Amino acid sequence: MLLLNMFLKRHTKSFSLLWLRLLLILLSIASVNGNEQKNFYIVFLGAHTESRGNALDTYLNVLSAVKESFLEAKESMVYSYTKTLNAFAAKLSEDEAKKLSAMDEVLLVFQNQYRQLHTTRSWNFIGLPTTAKRRLKSESDIIVALLDTGFTPESKSFKDDGFGPPPARWKGSCGHYANFSGCNKKIIGAKYFKADGNPDPSDILSPVDADGHGTHTASTVAGNLVPNANLFGLANGTARGAVPSARLAIYKVCWSSSGCADMDILAAFDAAIHDGVDVISISIGGGNPSYVEGSISIGAFHAMRKGIITVASAGNSGPSLGTVTNTAPWIVTVAASGIDRTFRSTVQLGNGKNVSGVGVNCFDPKGKQYPLINGVDAAKDSKDKEDAGFCYEGTLQPNKVKGKLVYCKLGTWGTESVVKGIGGIGTLIESDQYPDVAQIFMAPATIVTSGTGDTITKYIQSTRSPSAVIYKSREMQMQAPFTASFSSRGPNPGSQNVLKPDVAAPGLDILASYTLRKSLTGLKGDTQFSEFILMSGTSMACPHVAGVASYVKSFHPHWTPAAIRSAIITTAKPMSKRVNNEAEFAYGAGQLNPRSAVSPGLVYDMDALGYIQFLCHEGYKGSSLSALVGSPVNCSSLLPGLGHDAINYPTMQLSLESNKGTRVGVFRRTVTNVGPAPTIYNATVRSPKGVEITVKPTSLTFSKTMQKRSFKVVVKATSIGSEKIVSGSLIWRSPRYIVRSPIVINNP
């Protein structure tokens, strides 16, 4: 989600909903045609019967059947996805969509929806220092696709000094667009996708990033080394991506005012797969948890079939359980963790007492102390006292605020802009939500806990002329890793049998490149601009994993997406349930561990058929798998997937049924030896209380590299009490490698 901004969005939900409604009303007025409201739909067709060149004609013929004329069909079509998919997008009435779904040639029709976008230190913290072993030649052949808000061509992170020509297999392209004069040898592809035709005055119709989010994520995956990167002196260091020698292909699908449309996302997947990328990083989420509908799930499946790994953000809807998104097993789903640093400000009250708040406040105070007032006492109208306590726009009386710091409860982000806009100095904001996120402010401000808030309120009440001063933020050490409060949690709403998120990576206060086209906060009156910015979100965590997937791929160019994912999962550093009570539902297998991921020892590999067997086992109807597979599947004619979950996944999850006694899950797995041979692996099992876990055989002998061995894990859960989740594990250990699989048992 537009990171940073996602926090803004969350707290201004009512406003944005209002806007959205307005927009929808306007849109529907615009598209009313004989009383019929039209929307964009994506229509999947059966396997290509003719050459791709004729696909467009086929689509138009199909579409013409529900439209008045061929011309009308042509006008209504906004995309034909002919490269790797077999589908098109068009503006249809509900009735036309229904008619299309009933046609024999048509496999699936779904309505377009809009989704939202969901370092320096971070790489050292997780153990990928600049001195880490790299395969530069091979790394420079890796192409990473970013589906995001575009990028900033002027950024130092994307210069191409020292780069050779793009890899020969590259088929992508790069045009000249507004404010963009074309690619270089680092950014080898740049396109934008926006088919809804709605103008977006706050954005640029080009791959150029008007938001900053895409610039940030792209530089985190593969940005060049940029020394002395900092935000007004904070977080100073060398900014860089995981694979600074890799190439970037930019697919802009998210727009400042509308978000990210399914039909545009699908077009970007279609293009990226055709262009020949190796890794897709997508920090976008939301929507239907079904694995067989939705642009990201479908796009990632087609990518997987072409050997391309898709890494996606888990979402920013934590810490509530069951909020994780992008949960298809062919996607690597990334949670956000904190690194060992935070940003805090000291607030000195007029009585000499110091309290502390969190946030990025780049302002050195000019005065020693400023008068302090509670928003409640600055209300414009006595009826508005409650709203004034939140410092909502229009609720404060300017002459009561002028020259003062205002104490507000957190209702919506940007209160410092409201206060500054009417002549105030800044705000002390009280909130217990997201205590770990350092929000950036456009005027002096900091966030204090409700406990500290009480101290401040009492102080204000204790004196006739309360005052305070907020000092510039400083970098502080903290205990890490832990899962960020906002990071979406399992259990996986898409399947009871697949543990999601898969892995945690740094996503809290990450410094990376930004755009000078937007102020730091985007708030009214903000005059702060910087080439680097701190952002927080699973959006920031995702490119860390995409970067490591690229790093692994530079050592093993022929590994499948499943093998790379397995390497990332089984080498993750375990995190602690003492820190995150939701355990694996918060952090998956644990913290990303880049250097170990290169040499996992064993991998849990899979191919497309494996996922289809899994989907059949999950109860998906064969006909519903058509958008993934290209034709309807007959589940009963396939070999059934094995075991409890019918998937060769590197983690295991047994969901209990309510009010039932003992539940037994038999998990069948096959591992491939990707290390040297001969070698022997022995199993170590850790069973939580009330659960018995056994593995058979307990030892695996490999005489060759790439040899496969199968085993069986039996999980017998008698009671886990009222716990939401309990954790066990299976570790395969050889003299050189540790291959760890979390095993979780959860109550529904």
In the complex, the residues that contact ligand NAG under the rule CB under 6 A are 178-179, 204, 228, 230, 233, 236, 346, 348, 352, 354, 471, 517, 634, 636-637, 680, 682, 699, 733-735
Nearer to ligand NAG, 137 or 621 (CB): 621
Is residue 176 among the annotated active site residues? Answer: no
Nearer to ligand NAG, 228 or 527 (CB): 228
Q: What residue ranges in 517-657 does DSSP mark as E strands?
A: 532-535, 602-603, 652-655
The Cβ of residue 491 has, within 10 Å, a number of other Cβ atoms equal to 26
Sign (positive or negative) of CA dihedral 199, 200, 204, 209: negative
By DSSP bridging, strand 405-409 and strand 426-430 are parallel
Terminal-to-terminal C-alpha distance of the chain: 28
Is residue 283 among the annotated active site residues? Answer: no
Contact 574, 590 (CB under 8 A): yes
- Which position has the token pair 């034909």? 80
CA distance 30 to 22: 12
Nearest approach, Cβ of residue 645 and ligand NAG (Å): 23
Q: Of residues 76, 118, 203, 213, which has the active-site annotation?
A: 213
Nearest approach, Cβ of residue 298 and ligand NAG (Å): 23
3-class state of residue 503 by DSSP: strand
CA distance 196 to 551: 36
Q: Of residues 80, 140, 141, 148, which has the active-site annotation?
A: 148
The DSSP output letter for 360 is B
CA distance 251 to 273: 12
Nearest approach, Cβ of residue 154 and ligand NAG (Å): 9
Nearest to 593 by CA among 121, 120, 125: 125
Contact 328, 438 (CB under 8 A): no
Nearer to ligand NAG, 204 or 503 (CB): 204
Nearer to ligand NAG, 198 or 346 (CB): 346
Tell me the DSSP string of 244-296. TTSEEEEEE-EETTTEEEHHHHHHHHHHHHHHT-SEEEE-EE-S---SSSSHH
Per the DSSP assignment, residues forming a β-bridge with 38 are 93
Nearest approach, Cβ of residue 502 and ligand NAG (Å): 27
Nearer to ligand NAG, 351 or 719 (CB): 351
Nearest approach, Cβ of residue 203 and ligand NAG (Å): 9
Nearest approach, Cβ of residue 619 and ligand NAG (Å): 16
Q: Where are the alpha helices (DSSP H) in 276-406?
A: 295-305, 385-389, 398-401
Q: Of residues 337, 519, 530, 539, which has the active-site annotation?
A: 539
Q: What residue ranges in 326-366 does DSSP mark as E strands?
A: 331-337, 341-349, 354-358
Nearer to ligand NAG, 173 or 346 (CB): 346
Nearer to ligand NAG, 243 or 358 (CB): 358
Nearest approach, Cβ of residue 179 and ligand NAG (Å): 4
User: Which helix or strand (DSSP H or E) is residue 143 part of?
Assistant: strand 143-148
Nearest approach, Cβ of residue 115 and ligand NAG (Å): 24
Tell me the DSSP string of 694-746. EEESSEEEESSTT-EEEEEEEEEES--TT-SEEEEEEEEE-SS-EEEEEEEEE
Q: What residue ranges in 432-531 does DSSP mark as E strands?
A: 445-448, 467-470, 474-477, 503-506, 510-513
Nearest approach, Cβ of residue 209 and ligand NAG (Å): 10
- Distance of CA 555 to CAs 305, 641, 650, Å? 21, 31, 21
Nearer to ligand NAG, 143 or 254 (CB): 254
Nearer to ligand NAG, 230 or 747 (CB): 230
Nearer to ligand NAG, 153 or 318 (CB): 153
Nearest approach, Cβ of residue 204 and ligand NAG (Å): 5
Is residue 509 among the annotated active site residues? Answer: no
Nearest approach, Cβ of residue 726 and ligand NAG (Å): 26
Nearer to ligand NAG, 269 or 620 (CB): 620
CA distance 428 to 393: 16
19, two tokens:
């806007």
Sign (positive or negative) of CA dihedral 132, 135, 136, 141: negative
3-class state of residue 306 by DSSP: coil
Residues 6+ apart with CB under 8 A from 637: none
List the Cα angle 239/241/246 in 5-degree steps. 135
Residues annotated as catalytic are 148, 213, 539
